[in-house]
């Protein structure tokens, strides 16, 4: 499959962009006391939630598996090849 910038991504629709801006948020994780079950403390963990029709236009549809390559300062998301 050719790279994203070489594929037709319905660029005439006006809604497709090669770059998107998101802000890293966080999720809170509850840590209960094992003996009482009561919450002892919460931790915050970085979170990034990608959403929008642009994902489908880029070839990422619901239920597809992806591989994420983690490098300092960047995440590379690729579809898992069948076979």
Per-residue pLDDT at 74: 95
Residue with more model confidence, 9 or 40 = 40
> Helix count (H) and strand count (E) of the chain?
1, 4
The C-alpha atoms of residue 9 and residue 1 are separated, in whole angstroms, by: 13
pTM across the whole model: 0.61
- 14 in any annotated domain: no
- 5 in any annotated domain: no
**Domain count along the chain:** 1
Read off the pLDDT of residues 16-72 as tens digits, 9 standing for 90 and up.
578 899 999 999 988 888 899 888 888 999 999 999 999 999 999 999 999 999 999
Do the beta carbons of residue 9 and residue 1 sit within 8 Å?
no
The C-alpha atoms of residue 40 and residue 22 are separated, in whole angstroms, by: 32
- 15 in any annotated domain: no
- 9 in any annotated domain: no
Domain that holds residue 51: 23-79
């Amino acid at each position: 499959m050719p790279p994203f910038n070489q594929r037709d991504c319905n660029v005439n629709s006006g809604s497709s962009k090669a770059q998107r801006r998101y802000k890293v948020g966080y999720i809170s994780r509850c840590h209960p006391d094992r003996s009482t079950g009561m919450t002892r403390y919460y931790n915050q963990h970085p979170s990034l939630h990608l959403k929008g029709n642009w994902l489908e236009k880029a070839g990422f549809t619901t239920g597809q598996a992806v591989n994420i390559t983690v490098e300092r300062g960047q995440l590379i998301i690729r579809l898992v090849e069948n076979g």
